[in-house]
Amino acid sequence: MNILLKSVKLIHGKSKEFHLKKRDILIKNGIIEKIGTDIDAPSKAKIIDHKNLHVSLGWIDTGASFGEPGYEERETITNGLDTAARSGFTDVILNPNSFPLPDSSSDIVFLKNAGKGHLTNIHPLGNLTVNGDGETLAELYDMKNAGAVGFYDFKHAVSNPNLLKIALQYAQNFNGMVLSFPMDTHIAGKGNVNEGTVSTKLGLKGIPAMAEELQVSRDLFILEYTGGKLHIPTISTADSVKLIAAAKKKGLQVTCSVAVHNLFQTDEVLEGFESNYKVLPPLRTSKDCKELIKAVKNGTIDFVTADHTPLNIELKKVEFENADYGTIGLESSFGALNQLFTLEETIDILTRGRELFGIEIPEFKEGAKATLTLFDPDPEYTFTEAHIASNSKNSLFLGHTLKGTVLGTIANDQIHINI
Q: Show the beta-strand stretches assigned E in 180-309.
A: 193-194, 206-207, 229-232, 254-259, 303-305
- For residues 157 and 284, state if they share a domain: yes
Helix (H) / strand (E) element for 378: namely strand 372-382
Exposure string (b/e) for 297-333, b if CB count within 10 Å is 16 or more?
eeebbbbbbbbbbbbbeebbeeebeebbbbbbbbbbb
- How do residues 132-189 score in pLDDT, each as one tens digit? 999 999 999 999 999 999 999 999 999 999 999 999 999 999 999 999 999 999 999 9
- How do residues 242-259 score in pLDDT, each as one tens digit? 999 999 999 999 999 999
Query: How many Å is the Cα radius of gyration of the chain?
Result: 21
307: annotated active-site residue: yes
| Residue 125 belongs to some domain of the structure | yes
- Distance from C-alpha of 55 to C-alpha of 74, rounded to nearest angstrom: 31
| Residue 386 belongs to some domain of the structure | no
- How do residues 73-132 score in pLDDT, each as one tens digit? 999 999 999 999 999 999 999 999 999 999 999 999 999 999 999 999 999 999 999 999
Angle among Cα 210, 135, 168 to the nearest 5 degrees reads 70
Closest CA to 84 of 99, 110, 101, 65: 65
Rounded (10°) angle between helices 161-171 and 209-226: 40
- For residues 156 and 33, state if they share a domain: no
- For residues 103 and 205, state if they share a domain: yes
- For residues 40 and 138, state if they share a domain: no
Helix (H) / strand (E) element for 333: namely helix 333-340
Q: How many domains does the chain have?
A: 2
- For residues 214 and 256, state if they share a domain: yes
Q: What is the mean pLDDT of the chain?
A: 97
For position 169, which CATH number holds?
Answer: 3.20.20.140
**Residue 129 belongs to domain spanning:** 59-351
For position 10, which CATH number holds?
Answer: 2.30.40.10
**Cα distances (Å, whole numbers) of residue 96 to 18, 107, 120:** 38, 10, 18
| Residue 294 belongs to some domain of the structure | yes
- For residues 176 and 72, state if they share a domain: yes
| pLDDT at position 419 over 90 | no
Mean pLDDT of 305-320: 97
- For residues 25 and 124, state if they share a domain: no
| Residue 290 belongs to some domain of the structure | yes
- For residues 253 and 305, state if they share a domain: yes
| Residue 357 belongs to some domain of the structure | no
Report pTM: 0.97
- For residues 128 and 161, state if they share a domain: yes
The residue from 24, 103, 219, 307 that is catalytic is: 307
| Residue 387 belongs to some domain of the structure | no
- Distance from C-alpha of 308 to C-alpha of 303, rounded to nearest angstrom: 14
Mean pLDDT of 39-57: 93
Count CB neighbours of 385 within 10 A. 8
